[in-house]
Amino acid sequence: MSRALMNTKKFQVKPNAKLDLGKFDAADKSLISGDKDEAKEALEGLRKRLESLQSLFYADGKHKLLIVLQAMDTAGKDSTIRMVFDGVNPQGVKVFSFKAPTSEELAHDFLWRVHAKTPANGEIAIFNRSHYEDVLITRVNGWINDDTCQTRYQSIRAFEQLLAENGTTILKFYLHISKDEQKKRLIERRDDPAKQWKFNPADLASRAQWDDYMSAYTQAMTATSTEQAPWYVVPANSKLQRNLIVANVICEALEGLGLAYPEAVPGLDKIQVE
């Protein structure tokens, strides 16, 4: 399993440094370039490790974990959640998907709907899309101007700092696929009866804006990757490689929290169970 426990820093967007997304290879398969079965075994080991860590995290009850997943369509946000958290107790894990805001949400500031979904002590919250939609789709489509976008970056940094100061560990993952890989996956959705329900013609509009989205992601991650809330650019053409990286980063973060089970009630060894 040592090969999966790699240095994940190379996937992290350094704070205060301009991101060059072109330097990240979406087709990177370095973790599975040798024995694919070994890589699958490594992922299974990481899942079991995460299962144990999440149980301890929930029992410890002193920390919170927020996981943000952002990606272009077909990059596998749902699949990542399903494969990485397979076997984890759902009692302590909540998944939230943020779609087009409702009229009530639009009547508040853009972070209002998100703040209510952040994790409590002992909880892991997973955002499948997130508050970053408000500096991505809005920016690409010209619904906000550059000044508003810059102000929102500042608000996001302050918001995430507030969460971190109150005990929330924040991990943000951009699942990075290539345009060619997206084309392949969209065709599979179109042609496979079991996947056709996932095909949304509106996804083709976003695909036509690919370069604009790459620019928007680059700017957003450059502006908001901090020590307290780092971004990771995860090569996602390979689903196995993607899952290995995400699982590894989460396990390392949980292990760094110094988790411990609560002390047993006094005199437990003298209690008789009839």
**How confident is the model at residue 1, as a pLDDT?**
37
pLDDT at 5 over 80: no
In a domain? residue 247: yes
Tell me whether residue 271 is in a domain. no
On the question of pLDDT at 4 being above 60, the answer is: no
Classify residue 20: in a domain, yes or no. Answer: no
Written as six digits, the tokens of 63 are 């920390």
DSSP state letters, 130-156: -GGGGGTHHHHTTSS-HHHHHHHHHHH
CATH code (residue 236):
3.40.50.300
How sure is the predictor about 2, in pLDDT bands with cuts at 50, 70 and 90? very low
The bridge status of strand 124-128 relative to strand 64-71 is parallel
pLDDT in tens, 57-80: 999 999 999 999 999 999 999 999
pLDDT value of residue 257: 95
pTM, rounded to two decimals: 0.94
Average pLDDT over residues 266-271: 82
Q: How many Å from the N-terminal Cα to the C-terminal Cα in the chain?
A: 45
Q: Residue 194 has which token pair? A: 């079991």
Q: Is residue 109 part of a domain?
A: yes
Q: What is the largest CA-CA distance in the chain?
A: 70
DSSP per-residue letters across 65-125: EEEEEEESTTS-HHHHHHHHSTTS-GGGEEEEE--SPPHHHHTS-TTHHHHTTS--TT-EE
Question: Average pLDDT in the 129-153 region?
Answer: 97
The predicted model gives 192-220 an average pLDDT of 93
- For residue 118, give both structure tokens: 């952040």
Residue 56 belongs to some domain of the structure? yes
Do 4 and 45 touch, CB atoms closer than 8 A? yes
Q: Which residue has the higher pLDDT, 100 or 152?
A: 152
Report residue 197 as tokens.
């329900």
User: What is the overall mean pLDDT for the chain?
Assistant: 93
Taking residues 241-252, what's their average pLDDT? 96
Distance CA(94)–CA(88), nearest Å, equals 11
- What is the C-alpha radius of gyration for the chain, rounded to an integer number of angstroms? 20
**197: burial class by Cβ within 10 Å (0-12, 13-18, 19+)?**
exposed
Q: Return the SS3 of 274.
A: coil
Question: How far apart, in whole angstroms, are the C-alpha atoms of residue 125 and residue 169?
Answer: 11
Helix (H) / strand (E) element for 211: namely: helix 210-224
Q: Give the pLDDT of residue 81.
A: 96
Domain range for 61: 30-257
Mean pLDDT across 183-189: 95
Instruction: Say if 9 falls within a structural domain.
Output: no
- 3-state SS, residue 261: coil
Q: How many domains does the chain have?
A: 1
269 belongs to a structural domain? no
- Residue 126 inside a domain? The answer is yes
Q: Between 245 and 200, where is the model more confident?
A: 245
Residue 31 has pLDDT above 60, yes or no: yes
